[in-house]
Chains A and B, each alone.
Chain A
């Protein structure tokens, strides 16, 4: 493949030698060509602009407006009522329980998921046929959608006929009425299990990319210095893996804070509202009896603001440490 430097000269010299408009004419055409290119650029970008405007920018403006209005599901827009929606949202009976649960769930899931993914990545990083098989096995769950994975585990967690229940009663644990989704703690950990199963492979992949970036020379140098396996891991691998870990952490935290599908399908926020997440609360306020789109919009904007703040904090914290 010709280097970038050579071709343009060849083209230009070719153009000069062809029978065509002279250099002056070419200079005159050039601005028009650039202009034409510029406007064509707009034409090509137009569909994107249309989508972004109609389906993103306008809804963002609309949700801001809704959060400041008395907007019922059936009754529609009934005029401004700021800041009632926000005080109602925060004063909701289930607001703080949902926030607390979402945060708790996020912390647990992130720690376990990244830990498991790191372990898997370290396990399969060498080139080997066996490792290829392992990698594929760990990645297969990520082909499923989150809803499909939740439905699958809903069946797995069946209280009497399901395989886990039968396994436990076969082993003699529990008194025959094991309930994976029936008590607050069980429901939380059962759901975490689903997420770990579904996402471990994906995060493993991201960490593998990071691991590839660590040159073997660094390991050699450390080993020559007499470091043992654990010291190498803590002092060499982890620091060099920071960017990947940071990316994984940010993705995991954001995803967990917005959890909906798995809780809707597995627990519907029960038992006793112990597994209601913020997004589930938004959905219930909008369509589940209270039917108040204004309060739901206010709550979802609060979520957006919280996310922005959390992400900014994460970025600065992790980038700071990187340097």
Chain B
């Protein structure tokens, strides 16, 4: 009898465990993001956060590796807190953050491509740091585009991490060889086309007029939205729910690239370029002129004589895509005061001037645009275009799905427009609107 009870009891126990697990499973799912319990008292008492030797974890993506490493090194050298940096390949970043967020294991701090920030802010991945930001001494000078991207329902969640602006880079040596003025880059789209064709005429082996990410949605918006803005057109509607990428100026941009491609002035590798190596060829001196991320000025300088000019529109003007990453404290962090210490340092002169400006990177504070390291005239051009009236950071909730995701409708649109015959632009544009409006 005893053994029977044991066996039955065992079976019951197993059943109970199973039922319990099921119930826990059902009950536990439903909690969204909890707000950080950073009390007002702690915030007021420690406007710069707490530096007590805590280990902080920070995630960022590969494109900003150089700046991220420099910042983390400088912080670790001068503080008791130590930041542990994890760099993730660009294509894997969204899924890694997604899986971590879903299981409540986000790092203390993480950076996000500014175009994803509105979505992730709305989903509650970042902690509310409104009161902390408001205590910053230079809050009015912080790049408003980035701040706005990370603002949801009046609360602020994100600060600019590394600004990445798009500008035109050209190879001064190739310009001289082609008979172009090495001190003047293109100031209209027509001139851009002219210059690229001139470089192509050199007929040097392996050298091409220009390059672009033919399969890279993110590269596309980064480099062509400014061309559209500078032409006085808007690629999307104000709240980012409808696409206007079949506008007149946009069509002229695609036409120019199509003509360049048909003339053979675009490197053949562009067609399949997914963005992993879109900046490589210019650094090897193989490309004449192309829109490029300003963060790589120092890197490109090592191997090429780089000329810089703002991205022009159809008839002139200048604009840039104020991209890069924003950074915030995650919803899962248990050391938000210490994490804030890193962020408040990030906004200080020590970080902005001594680390970022010193390495020819962009500063996130407008009052520091003229700093002691900004002696390079090219850096001045970049800093100045960041504040130009036509420069923007686009805000769209479904930006990633509509533009950046591999095989997004945006990629379909411009591939059809440039490598095809351009007849489906309106239909493709409608597909983008559908995704944006989700």
Contact = CB atoms under 8 A, between A and B. Distances in A.
Given A49-B14, A58-B18, A73 B407 contact: no
B331 to A, nearest CB: 9
B11 interface: yes
Contact of A42 (B10, B17, B33): B10
B22 interface: yes
Contacts of B101: 73-74
B98 A270 contact: no
Contacts of B215: 270-272
B18 A42 contact: no
Given A54-B18, A58-B21, A272 B407 contact: yes
Contacts of A289: 94, 98, 400-401, 405
A54 B20 CA distance: 10
B156 interface: no
Interface string A39-58: 10011001001100110011
B3 A62 contact: no
Contacts of A57: 18
A46 B18 CA distance: 13
B7 A54 contact: no
Interface in B377-436: 400-401, 405-407, 411, 415
B25 interface: yes
Nearest to B399: A289
A115 interface: no
Nearest to A176: B206
B139 interface: no
A272 B415 contact: yes
A65 B23 CA distance: 13
A165 to B, nearest CB: 12
A77 B24 CA distance: 13
A35 interface: yes
Nearest to B435: A93
Contacts of B6: 39
Given A74-B102, A182-B272, A288-B405, A62 B25 contact: yes
A54 B407 contact: no
B98 A291 contact: yes
A269 interface: yes
Interface in A259-306: 268-273, 276, 283-284, 286-291, 293
A74 B21 contact: no
A181 to B, nearest CB: 9
Contacts of B25: 58, 62
Given A273-B406, A287-B99, A288-B405, 8 more contacts: A39-B6, A39-B7, A62-B22, A74-B124, A76-B28, A270-B406, A289-B400, A293-B102
26 contacts: A35-B4, A36-B3, A38-B7, A39-B4, A42-B10, A46-B14, A53-B18, A54-B17, A58-B18, A73-B98, A75-B32, A76-B28, A76-B31, A77-B29, A78-B30, A177-B268, A182-B272, A271-B274, A287-B94, A287-B95, A287-B98, A288-B94, A289-B94, A289-B401, A290-B401, A291-B102
Interface of B: 3-4, 6-7, 10-11, 14, 17-18, 21-22, 25-26, 28-33, 91, 94-95, 98-99, 101-102, 123-125, 206, 215, 268-269, 272, 274, 400-401, 405-407, 411, 415
Nearest first, the 10 closest Cβ-Cβ pairs linking A and B are A273-B407, A182-B272, A76-B29, A39-B7, A287-B98, A77-B29, A287-B95, A76-B30, A73-B102, A39-B3
